[in-house]
């Protein structure tokens, strides 16, 4: 394949990467270059709508690939060999990301690892990266983390059916109710324990 012979990923030779991964990166770069140089005629609204959906879907799938990469580094622990405390700091250093962006990706990675339905939609480019990041923020709240996992299917349905703004509203309301429910359960456990202690007297 001629492209492979001429292509260098970053500054490393092709032998450092898995062949399938290398070939995929070659094709992606070639495809993006071809799209960038194409005549994107958006004078017709239907064409514009199709283009938006298609290009955004590809972008989301690339974001999902970035998440897959971060997971792989985190799982292997190779970041420590390179002198980094975590996978996201290694990616931030090499890719020149802000600490905010790196931490956002880490939160999203952790959430998607326990939300399989949401993850499938994201991997397929059907929901936005903004939505996946929003759920990363939700999962980061330790008080409602277990409830977040249980709501995987519900989140997926809402993400498919909503704009980001509406999704943010319904997730925020869900968080509020879940947090209140968690607080009430904690208070009830405290009351039950207190009553049990008093009964012992």
Among residues 113, 120, 111, the alpha carbon closest in space to that of 160 is found at 120
* Separation of alpha carbons 108 and 20, rounded Å: 25
- Please tell me whether the overall predicted TM-score, pTM, comes out greater than 0.75 for this model: yes
**% pLDDT > 90, the chain:** 67
Q: Where are the domains of the chain?
A: 39-200
Give the chain's length.
201
- pLDDT tens for residues 119-138? 999 999 999 999 999 999 99
3-state secondary structure of 12: strand
- Per DSSP, which regions of the chain are E strands? none
3-state secondary structure of 44: coil
Q: What average pLDDT does the structure give for the chain?
A: 86
3-state secondary structure of 143: coil
> What does residue 12 show for φ and ψ, rounded to 5 degrees?
-100, 155
**Sign of torsion over alpha carbons 96, 99, 104, 107:** positive
Q: List, in order, residues 6 or more apart from 93 with CB less than 8 Å away.
A: 84
- pLDDT tens for residues 84-94? 888 999 999 99
**Sign of torsion over alpha carbons 37, 105, 115, 147:** negative
């Amino acid at each position: 394949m001629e492209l492979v012979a001429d292509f260098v990923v970053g500054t490393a030779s092709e032998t450092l990467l898995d062949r399938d991964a290398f070939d995929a990166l070659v094709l992606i770069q070639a495809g993006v270059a071809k799209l960038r140089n194409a005549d994107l005629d958006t004078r017709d609204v239907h064409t514009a709508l199709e283009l938006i959906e298609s290009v955004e879907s590809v972008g989301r799938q690339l974001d999902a690939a970035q998440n897959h990469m971060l997971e792989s580094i985190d799982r292997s622990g190779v970041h420590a060999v390179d002198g980094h405390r975590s996978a996201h700091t290694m990616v931030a250093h090499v890719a020149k990301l802000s600490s905010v962006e790196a931490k956002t990706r880490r939160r999203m990675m952790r959430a998607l690892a326990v939300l399989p339905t949401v993850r499938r939609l994201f991997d397929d480019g059907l929901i936005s990266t903004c939505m996946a990041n929003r759920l990363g923020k939700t999962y980061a709240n330790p008080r409602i983390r277990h409830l977040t996992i249980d709501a995987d299917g519900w989140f997926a349905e809402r993400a498919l059916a909503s704009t980001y703004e509406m999704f943010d509203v319904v997730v925020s309301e869900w968080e509020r109710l879940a947090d209140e429910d968690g607080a009430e359960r904690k208070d009830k456990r405290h009351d039950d324990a207190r009553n049990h202690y008093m009964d012992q007297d």
